[in-house]
A and B are shown apart, each in its own frame.
Chain A
Amino acid sequence: MSFEIPDELYYLESHEWIDPDTGRIGISEFAQDELGDVVFVELPDEGDELIHEEEFGVVESIKAVSDLYSPADGEVTAVNEALFDRPELVNDDPFGEGWMLELDVEGDLDGLLSAEEYADQIE
């Protein structure tokens, strides 16, 4: 099965993506498929500071609990509250309506994978 991996995004090995233009963060299509039916998302509040590769929240499917890791340092400027009522958006549209939060990125986006490198990782 092949998964969508948008070229313009950067990725963490732990399957989170970040849009370098907007600072928007989510999890990949591959990750949501591995998790199965997402039933719960726990996210930080606006104004919280995230640190590169540190936990910022949790995504739970019926069968598993997974930590979420931040692709960058920065302050949370928006949280997708739609996920609190409709966590299944993460399954339905992981790069679109299933986004999780927006970050005011501090510094450079270092140490992230390109779409090509991420594709190699999940092969």
Chain B
Amino acid sequence: MSDRKPPLYVSHEERGATFTPFGGWEMPVEFDSIRAEHEAVRDSAGIFDVSHMGEIEVSGPDAATLLQRLTTNDVESISIGNAQYSTITDTDGTILDDTVIYRLDEGEFLFIPNAGHDEQMEERWIEHRDEWGLDCAVENTTDKWAMFAIQGPEAEALVSDAAGEELRDLGRFSITEAEVAGTDCLLARTGYTGEDGYEALVPWNSAERVWTEFDCQPCGLGARDTLRIEAGFLLSGQDFDPEENPRTPYEARIGFAVDLDTEFVGRDALVRVEEDGPEELFVGVRLEERGVPRHGYEIVTDGEVVGEITSGTMSPTLGEPIGLGYVPTEYAETGTHVSVRIRGADKRARIETPGFLGDR
């Protein structure tokens, strides 16, 4: 099957973007330079095409019940116009996907599976809905919505210019209908860069009109990756993966997205993990010698391999090599000295809590 393409594929190409396959999509990885794009988001603003993210709409009398049973957080606690970070776990408590759930209205939800997971999630939702005899519609609208992220300290000014002053007051993790360039969109104050910003759901056919309304640096998946690594955010399929790298939310340090007072698939397994504590933990790793930690590199202590880097880069903001990965809990404390094995040489490194920006 050929890769899916975002609606602005040709426009991006004309803007000089290079592309990469990602989650079954052919997405822009770089427009100008990853460093320039990264710095624009930290210092001013950048816009990302994230149309590869999925959209699943769940609506009807039992919509909340279905979401409650298939996601780990408490869906009932989301008020209308608000969003919640959550995970979808298997019966063994490992993460199948992480997601943001938006409550658009009474009995009307939208959630955002990661790239390439939309069909699998649609199938899972429909299967469970039917099994449990629930009354709600599950619709995969991934091909109806383009999605853009406008991120950075100047995002608020840009978005309120384009969509109206009232968007300035939109609270973090809130969503509202808005008109941009004469187009009805959904605008949420969410993002994946560690900066303030918005994500816009835009009808597929109006994508160009809305994109050009936000006059800032176009950014690709390359900068999105360096920004999220600095912020310590997980990447589905890399920092956790049901096949290659199965992790519970507690291991991945997103236990805040689990509410054990609710009933959901995977809860029993997670009760046990919560009681015993996870054996391994997601950590930040800051290299103290020259080199760059990369996905798959071993984390070593006293010559013994104890863990693995799942994501890494040379941080454009800090000018230092940083990574994310998993180690046994006993090594997970901030300040613990470990090494990262890079091409056979063990390079000195220090464990930190994920999120490297501190008080930058």
Q: Which residues of A contact B (CB under 8 A)?
A: 36-37, 39-40, 42, 58, 60, 62-63, 65, 84
Q: What's the Cα separation between A60 and B226 when bound, in Å?
A: 14
> Is B116's CB within 8 Å of the partner chain A?
no
Minimal beta-carbon separation of A26 from chain B (angstroms): 20
A62 near B290 with CB under 8 A, answer no
Q: Which residues of B contact A (CB under 8 A)?
A: 29-30, 33-35, 222, 226, 290-292, 294, 313-314, 316, 321, 343
B314 near A62 with CB under 8 A, answer yes
Q: With A36-B34, A40-B290 in contact, is A62–B316 under 8 Å at CB?
A: yes
A60 near B314 with CB under 8 A, answer yes
Minimal beta-carbon separation of A63 from chain B (angstroms): 5
A40 near B292 with CB under 8 A, answer yes
Kindly list chain A residues whose C-beta atoms are within 8 Å of the C-beta of B35. 37, 62
Minimal beta-carbon separation of A104 from chain B (angstroms): 26
The number of A-B residue pairs with CB atoms under 8 Å apart is 35
B34 near A60 with CB under 8 A, answer no
Nearest B residue to A65 by beta-carbon distance? B294
Kindly list chain A residues whose C-beta atoms are within 8 Å of the C-beta of B33. 36-37
B34 touches which one: A42, A62, A65, A84 (CB < 8 A)?
A: A62
Q: DSSP majority for the B interface?
A: mixed
Kindly list chain B residues whose C-beta atoms are within 8 Å of the C-beta of A36. 30, 33-34, 222
Of the candidates A39, A40, A42, the one having the most CB atoms from chain B within 10 angstroms of its own CB is A39
A39 near B29 with CB under 8 A, answer no
Nearest B residue to A58 by beta-carbon distance? B343
Minimal beta-carbon separation of B191 from chain A (angstroms): 20
A63 near B29 with CB under 8 A, answer yes
Q: What's the Cα separation between A58 and B313 when bound, in Å?
A: 15
17 additional contacts, CB 8 Å, given A62-B222, A62-B316?
A: A36-B30, A36-B34, A37-B33, A37-B35, A39-B292, A40-B290, A40-B292, A42-B343, A58-B343, A60-B292, A60-B314, A62-B34, A62-B313, A63-B29, A63-B30, A63-B222, A65-B292
Q: What's the Cα separation between A36 and B290 when bound, in Å?
A: 19
Minimal beta-carbon separation of B311 from chain A (angstroms): 12
B222 near A39 with CB under 8 A, answer no
Kindly list chain B residues whose C-beta atoms are within 8 Å of the C-beta of A84. 290
Kindly list chain B residues whose C-beta atoms are within 8 Å of the C-beta of A37. 33-35, 316
Kindly list chain B residues whose C-beta atoms are within 8 Å of the C-beta of A39. 292, 314
B314 near A40 with CB under 8 A, answer yes
Kindly list chain A residues whose C-beta atoms are within 8 Å of the C-beta of B290. 40, 42, 84
Minimal beta-carbon separation of A27 from chain B (angstroms): 17
Kindly list chain A residues whose C-beta atoms are within 8 Å of the C-beta of B314. 39-40, 60, 62
Minimal beta-carbon separation of A60 from chain B (angstroms): 5
Q: List 21 A-B contacts (CB under 8 A).
A: A36-B30, A36-B33, A37-B33, A37-B316, A39-B292, A39-B314, A40-B314, A40-B321, A42-B291, A42-B343, A58-B343, A60-B292, A60-B314, A62-B34, A62-B35, A62-B226, A62-B314, A62-B316, A63-B30, A65-B294, A84-B290
Nearest A residue to B291 by beta-carbon distance? A40
Q: What's the Cα separation between A39 and B313 when bound, in Å?
A: 9
Kindly list chain A residues whose C-beta atoms are within 8 Å of the C-beta of B321. 40
Kindly list chain A residues whose C-beta atoms are within 8 Å of the C-beta of B291. 40, 42
Of the candidates A42, A58, A62, the one having the most CB atoms from chain B within 10 angstroms of its own CB is A62
